[in-house]
Structure 1
Amino acid sequence: MTTLYVIGTGFDLHHGMATGYKHIGEFLKRNHRELYNLLPNRRGDKRQMPPHT
């Protein structure tokens, strides 16, 4: 059995995985537009996240 330990930030990106903020945003835009539209700070978007209740 092989064990993979992921330590620290950037491991996934270093190994070429499409897991950056841009990639996640593109995935949401294609597959979950309603959730994508809720994201703050998309290019030029100054909205803040709604308060968590």
Structure 2
Amino acid sequence: MTKILERHGLLIFFISILMVTQLRWAESRNYADIAQRLSASNTIRNSPHLGS
């Protein structure tokens, strides 16, 4: 786990910033389902069988 964080820490940081930005943008436009969409895409991306 430590090696993954060392190798991909900056990428993980930028992805988290992007997700927060999307959530704030959606809140400003009253898109209620954006949190569900982001969590679903994150779950699929992190799934060992469905992700990369």
Pair member with larger Rg: 1
So what's the TM-score if we normalise by structure 2? Answer: 0.28
- Quick one: higher RCO (CA 8 Å, sep 6+), 1 or 2? 2
So what's the TM-score if we normalise by structure 1? Answer: 0.27
